[in-house]
Chain A
Amino acid sequence: MKTVAEFIAYFNIQVPTGFPSPAMDYLEERIDLNKVFIQHPFSTFIVECSGDSMINAFIPHKAKLIVDRSLTPKNGDIVLAVVNGEFTVKFLKKNDYNCFLVPANSKYNELKITPEMNMQVWGVVTNIITDTSDVRKCML
C-alpha cells in the first residue's frame, strides 16, 4: 500500500494548504510500456537490426525488435530465424509442403527452406521500435 505522502512525492503535485487536490482520489499508475508491449517478460528479448531487406514491413535500418520466443510461429509472422548458424529477420511463409523466408524489399529474393538447410525459428517478432529519424532517412 502506498501512503498518500508517497503518492504526492511520486506525482510531484504541489499541495496547496487548505484544499486537497481533487485529482487525489483518481490517481493511477502511469502507463508502463513494458506491460503494454511485453506479454511474456521471461521469454522476451530485444534485438537490433541492420540492413534494408525488411523495409516495406516497417523495419528500417537500426530498428529494435521485440522478440517473443514462447509464441509458436504461424504463416505470415515476422520471425527471427537462424539459417545455417546465421540470424535473419524475415516473413515466414509456410503451407503443408513448403516453407519460405520472405523479405519485404523487391531487391531481395525469398529463400526456400530445403531439408538440408538448418533452419530454426528463434522467436516471433511482436513489435518494432524505431527512431523517427531512422524512418526519415529511408524516405529520402
Chain B
Amino acid sequence: MYALVDCNNFYCSCERVFNPTLENRPVIVLSNNDGCAIARSEEAKALGIVMGTPLFMIQDLIQKKDIAVFSSNYTLYGDLSERVMNTIGSFVPRMEMYSIDEAFLDFHDMSYTDLLQLGITMKSTVKQNIGIPVTIGIAPTKTLAKMANRYAKKKRKEVGVFWAANKELIHEMLLYTQVGDIWGIGQQYTLFLKRHGIHTAFDLSKAPEEWIRVNMSVVGQRLLNELNGIPSIEWEFETPAKKNICTSRSFGNLLTDKNIIKEAICNHAAACALKLRKQKSCCRIVHVFINTNPHKTEEAQYSRSINVEPETATNNSSEIIKHASKGFDIIFKEGYRYMKCGVIVNDLIPEDEIQHSMFDCANRPKDKIIMNALDSINKSLGKEIVRFAVQGFEKKFRLKSEWLSPSYTTNINHILKVKI
C-alpha cells in the first residue's frame, strides 16, 4: 500500500499557526511580487476566489469580506514543511517528498496494520505537533493514493483520511473521479478521452489495453496498470540533480536604470552559483535575459537573451557574476521600461568531471576554498552576510511583499511575541 499525505491549503495553514485570529476567516496568500492568489483557505474558496486570481480583481471583495491577505513567506513555509515531513517520516520506513506540501509514504510490510487508524494517528499528530491540518489517501498504487487523497477531501472531510482497502471502496472512488482529475492526465488527454466516451476513472480502468497503448503511449499503459492496482511508478527517494537552474524575478516596479537592473542580474547570478554548489554541479552556459512588460501594449517592447560560455565549467560566484554581467552589458538597451530579468545556468555537469581548459589561468583549488568559506559563513551568520559588492545593498529592484508575515521559526528577531 501507498499513501499520499497532503497539507490542506498549506500556505494559509502556515499563517494560521502563529495567528489564531485567522481561524474561520478567509485567508489568501499571494504569489511572488504580490501578483495573484496562489493559496486560499476553505472560506476564501467559498467566496469564489479561484487559484491564480489577480489581486487587483478582488480588492473590493477583500474589503467587504474582511479577507486576510499575505505575501508568500517561503522561509516560514519551508521550515514548517520540513517539520511536517520529518514528523510523518517517523511513522514509516520510507517516504518520498513530492512537493513542499505533499509526500508519498511506503506502507509495504505493514499488511497487518489497520492503516486507517494509522492514518488518523498521523493526521492528529501532525495537527498537534506543528498545527498543520493534513489529508491522507491510502491505496495500492501511487496514482490511486493520490486519488484517495482527493476523495478524502471531498467525501471524508470529517475524518480526513481515506483507505481504499478493498475492491468495493476502490470501485466507489474510481466511479466518483472524473478523468480530468486523475494524476497525470492533462487537458489534451481529458478532451480526447471524453470524446471517446471515457468520463470517469472507472471507465478508463476498463479501457482495452491495446487501445490505450496506441493512443496514449507507454505513459497511458502505466496509468492503466496503476488504476488497476498494479504499482508501475517508481519511487524517487532522491531528487535528481537539476538539468538547469533558473533565478528570475519580476521587479517591484518597471525599471529603466541600468545600474539597478544590473544589480538584480548580479544577485540572480549569485543565487544560481549558490544553487549549483549545493547540488555539486558546474555550468558550461550562463544565459541572461531581460524583457519589458508584454501586457503593456502601449509601451515600446524589447526582450532579448544571450548565452555566455565560460572557458571552463564553473560554479564560482565571482565567475558567474562576471559572465552574467558581461552578457547583460551586451543585451541591455537604454530607453525601455523593464519588467523582468533573470539568469539561467545551463549544460550542467558534476563538479568533479570538469574539463580544464589549457589556457585557464584561474586558481581553481583556491577559488573553491574561498567559495566554501563564503557558503559556510552565510550559512551560520545569515543569508548574504558576505556578498559581492556588485550585489549592492538597497535592492531597489526587489519584489513587492507588502503583507509579509514574520519568519517566526528562523529569525530570532521575528519570533512570536506574546503579551502575558
Contact = CB atoms under 8 A, between A and B. Distances in A.
Contacts of A112: none
Contacts of A51: 419-420
Contact of A85 (B20, B412, B416): B20
Contact of B130 (A46, A64, A69, A89): A69
A58 to B, nearest CB: 13
A87 B419 contact: yes
B23 A45 contact: no
A48 interface: yes
Interface string A17-47: 0000000000000000000000010110111
Interface string B74-90: 00000000110011000
B130 A42 contact: yes
B48 to A, nearest CB: 26
A40 B129 contact: yes
Interface in B388-416: 408-409, 412, 415-416
Contacts, number: 68
B131 interface: yes
Contacts of B417: 47-50
Interface in A83-118: 85-90
Identify whether the interface residues of A are mostly helix, strand, loop, or mixed: strand
B59 interface: no
Contact of B129 (A50, A53, A70, A80): A70
Interface in B315-369: none
Nearest to B84: A42
Contacts of B420: 49-51, 53-54, 59, 88-90
Given A42-B87, A43-B83, A69-B129, A88 B20 contact: no
A9 B83 CA distance: 33
Interface string B187-230: 00000000000000000000000000000000000000000000
Nearest to A90: B420
B128 interface: yes
Contacts of A135: none
B379 to A, nearest CB: 16
B79 to A, nearest CB: 10
B419 A50 contact: yes
Interface residues of B, number: 21
B57 interface: no
A90 B420 CA distance: 8
B415 A46 contact: yes
B130 A87 contact: no
A51 B417 CA distance: 11
A30 to B, nearest CB: 15
A87 B416 contact: yes
B418 interface: yes
B129 A88 contact: no
B21 interface: yes
B409 A45 contact: yes
A129 to B, nearest CB: 11
Given A87-B419, A90-B420, A82 B129 contact: no
Contacts of B128: 43, 69-70
Contacts of A87: 20, 416, 418-419
Interface of B: 20-21, 23, 82-83, 86-87, 125, 128-131, 408-409, 412, 415-420
Interface of A: 40, 42-43, 45-51, 53-54, 59, 64, 69-70, 80, 82, 85-90, 120, 122
30 contacts: A42-B82, A42-B83, A42-B130, A43-B83, A43-B87, A43-B129, A45-B415, A47-B415, A47-B417, A47-B418, A48-B415, A48-B416, A49-B417, A50-B417, A53-B420, A59-B420, A64-B415, A69-B128, A69-B129, A69-B130, A70-B125, A80-B418, A82-B20, A85-B23, A86-B20, A86-B21, A87-B416, A87-B418, A88-B420, A122-B131
Of all A-B residue pairs in the complex, the 5 with the closest CB atoms, nearest first, are A43-B129, A85-B21, A47-B416, A89-B420, A42-B83
